[in-house]
Structure 1
Amino acid sequence: MKLAPNLHRIGNDIVAAYLVVADGGITVVDAGLAGHWRNLQRELTALDVTLEDIRGVVLTHGDSDHIGFAERLRLQTGVPVYIHAADAARAQGTERYKPAPGSASGLRPGPAARFLAYSMGKQGWRTKYLTDVVPVADGDVLDLPGSPRIIGLPGHSPGSVAVHVPGVKALFVGDALTTRNVLTGRTGLQPSPFTDDPAQALETLDRLTPLADVEWILPGHGTPWNGPVSELAGGVRAGA
């Protein structure tokens, strides 16, 4: 799905991954669920490009609904998969997440069942953990199309990051926040469920405020948000 020139989404408001199309090829941001592989291939066909045009994958964190097809793509094409060093073990399946008590409160059967059904339909049970990753750190600018910059946002997970791509005026935030709680069905800016350290997750959002050039805030779950970044942190806290 084309969002803007050179900016595409794979998936939907339940689970999403993204493509940045720039000089020199394509950067994938997050890899959704295993079954999003077909969505990736369809999007590439619509763009008249192939898997060989992908130069790398940048993961916002290591949860299973964000690493879906990353290992398959890495094995098939040899592209690097980047993730913050603090989440590398999670993406490699050697460390499990430990969400804070109460971070999944308010669950409603309908929305939760839809999330589970969608995840199963997209082969979430077939997640393949990464066997090789390239660790990154806060402030790194990656040698990939669009020159994505890593912004550390620990809280949802120790290595949760945002990915800033100025060329497409986009900020990919993973689960640092959400605009659709997959467990409650509630929409709008708010914290993500299943967060390791909810207080830290809210606090670190202030690091995004200076990014005045951003027009697209793109979460892993929910609709894109097009408001000013200066209002982002306050909006999420108000929605907590």
Structure 2
Amino acid sequence: MELAPHLHRLGNDIVACYLIDTPEGITLIDAGLPGHWRDLQRALRSLGKTTADIRGLVLTHGDSDHIGFAERLRREHGVPVYVHAADAERARTGRKPKTPAGRMRLWPTTRFFAYALSKNAIPTAHVKEVVEVADGDVLDLPGSPAIVGMPGHSPGSVAVHVPAVDAIFVGDALTTRHVLTGREGPQPAPFTDEPERALDSLDRLAALSASWVLPGHGAPWQGSGPAAAAAVRAAAR
């Protein structure tokens, strides 16, 4: 799905990841679920590109529904996978604290897990080798993605700011569709390690200029980072 020139979404409102296409090559943000590999191949074909054009994959965090095809891309095509140092072990092993799911509704929850299974979510293919990054890093990849630390959902949760496509990729720092309740609009994401810390991290969006705020779950949100943060805080009250 083309969102704007050079900016594409793979997946849907349940689970999504993103492709940035530039003359210098392609940068991916997150890797969804393993079955999104086919979505990636379709997108590349539509652009007249191949996996050889992918220069790097940047993870917003290390959870299983964001690392889907990352190891396959790394192992089979040599594409480096970048993740914040605080989430490197999570991406490599899946080890993470158990967090309460919170409120659920039967149909949205069933739909989320059914979609995950349809995209080969089990077993998880963890990423055996990662390139660790830190808050403030600007990566030498197409679009010059900048890492913005947003701990809370996980210790190494980040937003990825790419001014070249006027977008902030927020992973699970917020969501626009709660996968367990079906509620739509900017709001806190479920399965968050430290909910209060995640809300505090929204302050980091205030300094970022973009007209797209792109989560890992939910519809793309057209609006500024500060407006998204305010909407999440309002939903959390």
> Structure 1 length as normaliser, TM-score?
0.96
Partner of 1:117: 114
Determine if contact 1:58/1:82 at 8 Å carries over to the other structure.
Answer: yes
Partner of 2:36: 36
**Structure 2 unaligned blocks of 5 or more:** none
Partner of 2:123: 126
CA change 1:94–1:36 in 2 (3 A) is closer
**Structure 1 unaligned blocks of 5 or more:** none
Whole-Å separation in 1 of the counterparts to 2:213 and 2:121: 25
> Is 1:148 aligned to residue 145 of structure 2?
yes
Determine if contact 2:35/2:69 at 8 Å carries over to the other structure.
Answer: yes
Whole-Å separation in 2 of the counterparts to 1:178 and 1:71: 25
Partner of 1:81: 81
| CA positional deviation for 1:228 | 2.3
Partner of 1:195: 192
Query: Matches of residues 190-229 of structure 1 in structure 2 within 5 Å?
Result: 190-212=187-209, 214-229=210-225
Whole-Å separation in 1 of the counterparts to 2:178 and 2:225: 20
Identical amino acids, percent of aligned pairs = 64
> Is 1:106 aligned to residue 125 of structure 2?
no
Whole-Å separation in 2 of the counterparts to 1:95 and 1:229: 30
Whole-Å separation in 2 of the counterparts to 1:81 and 1:196: 23
Equivalent residue pairs, number: 236
Partner of 2:16: 16
Determine if contact 2:151/2:158 at 8 Å carries over to the other structure.
Answer: yes
Deviation track 1:185-206 (CA, whole Å, cap 9, x = no partner) reads 0000100000000000000111
| CA positional deviation for 1:98 | 2.9
Partner of 1:56: 56
Partner of 1:164: 161
Whole-Å separation in 2 of the counterparts to 1:232 and 1:112: 24
Whole-Å separation in 2 of the counterparts to 1:166 and 1:61: 20
